[in-house]
Amino acid sequence: MTVPKVLDREVGNEQTSTSAEMDLDAQGPAADLVRVYLNGIGKTALLTAAEEVELAKRIEAGVFAQHMLETKSGLTDVRRGELRALIRDGHVAKNHLLEANLRLVVSLAKRYTGRGMPLLDLIQEGNLGLIRAVEKFDYTKGFKFSTYATWWIRQAITRGMADQGRTIRLPVHLVEQVNKLARIKRDLHQQLGREATNEELAKESGLSPDKVSDLLDHARDPVSLDMPVGTEEDAPLGDFIEDSDATDAESAVISGLLQDDLRRVLATLEPREQAVIRLRYGLEDGQPRTLDQIGKQFGLSRERVRQIEREVMAKLRQGERAARLRAYAS
């Protein structure tokens, strides 16, 4: 059987031997599953361009028959039986076209290993793209199916990586840029015999050095806070990271003293004055009230509440009250 050139280029010698495929995931617990899968898909022969067209025609006939069966009324039992037969044959043709191109998915999925998703997951995402390609393929345009399907498979894999492969998810377009830069970085490493600088990556990729730096940051894998560090590796990384939200002991003590002194100062005011200030500044629950809200609660006008607030603030700025609170102003 003649192997389509595109498949031959993408899959290499995989149509005659699966030994190269069997070590794709030789490391890790999924190795046996990978071997079983690759052995299974290797049993379906590759297709010629003419066979691809023939299968596409049968798929198209099945889709049309399904449409006829659902939309046409008054069909005879014989005609309905003929349409159902075409639908079944279309499903058979679709499965055949899918199975014959599963190795193309594996070939493309291999290129994305080591980036956060297991090979089997990459293959699964690629298979979804292959299904989409079968459904969208237009044989009348003269393209080989493998050429058309390659784009759909790659798109499905990169989208799957964006959605599932990273702890911190990135937009699909950003994943594609990161992957492109990773390929350039590998190529330059082979050419130069060392890691390429950001300037060299920028020149080769046509991006600015700042953009290259951003993409390289996005490509970094997250580090677990439970990762052991130190010469003895007896302490987790998280123990050495400052908690910016944590309140230190000194601040906690000062806050407590302020609350006590504020309570004593307010106790020297009239009960209504205390209540207005507590509500106005949210001293009880952290939710400041508006003048209107306070006025409604006490049956006062907005201006009367404002007047009470000004009078109280004037009292707090004078005498012993001010002296008690002034130490916290800094």
Q: Does domain 249-326 have CATH number 1.10.10.10?
A: yes
Model pLDDT, residue 250: 47
Angstrom distance (rounded) from CA 278 to CA 265 = 12
Q: Residue 109: what pLDDT?
A: 92
Instruction: Supply the pLDDT for residue 138.
Output: 92
* pLDDT tens, position by position, 8-45: 333 333 433 343 344 444 445 556 777 788 888 888 88
Reported as a single tens digit per residue, the pLDDT across 57-73 is 999 999 999 999 999 98
Please report the pLDDT score of residue 14 as a whole number. Answer: 40
pLDDT the model gives residue 9:
35
Which range in 46-50, 89-93, 245-249 is most confidently predicted, on average pLDDT?
Answer: 89-93
Q: What angle do the packed helices 49-71 and 77-100 form, to 10 degrees?
A: 140
Mean pLDDT of 157-161: 85
Average pLDDT over all residues of the chain = 79
d(CA 101, CA 86): 23
- At residue 94, the pLDDT reads 95
> In this predicted model, what pLDDT tens digit does every residue of 78-130 receive, in sequence order?
999 999 999 999 999 999 999 999 999 999 999 888 777 888 889 999 999 99
Q: Please check the confidence at residue 257 and state whether its pLDDT lies above 70.
A: no
Lookup: tokens for 289: 């009230």
| pLDDT of the residue at 222 | 61
Residue 136 in this model has a pLDDT that exceeds 60: yes
Q: How many other C-beta atoms lie within 10 A of the C-beta of residue 5?
A: 12
pLDDT of 261 reads 76
pLDDT in tens, 141-150: 988 999 999 9
Q: DSSP string spanning 215-226?
A: HHHHHSPP--TT
Alpha helices in 73-208 (DSSP H): 77-100, 102-109, 119-136, 145-164, 172-192, 198-205
Fold of 5-165: Four Helix Bundle (Hemerythrin (Met), subunit A) (1.20.120)
Question: Does 5-165 match 249-326 in CATH topology?
Answer: no
Cα separation, 152 vs 128, in Å, equals 9
151: pLDDT strictly greater than 90: yes
State what percent of residues in the chain have pLDDT above 70.
74
Residue spans of the domains in the chain: they are 5-165, 171-241, 249-326
Q: At a CB cut-off of 8 Å and minimum separation 6, what does 281 contact?
A: 288
Averaged pLDDT for residues 294-306: 91
Q: What percent of the chain has pLDDT over 90?
A: 35
171-241 fold: Arc Repressor Mutant, subunit A (1.10.10)
- For 137-141, what is the mean pLDDT? 92
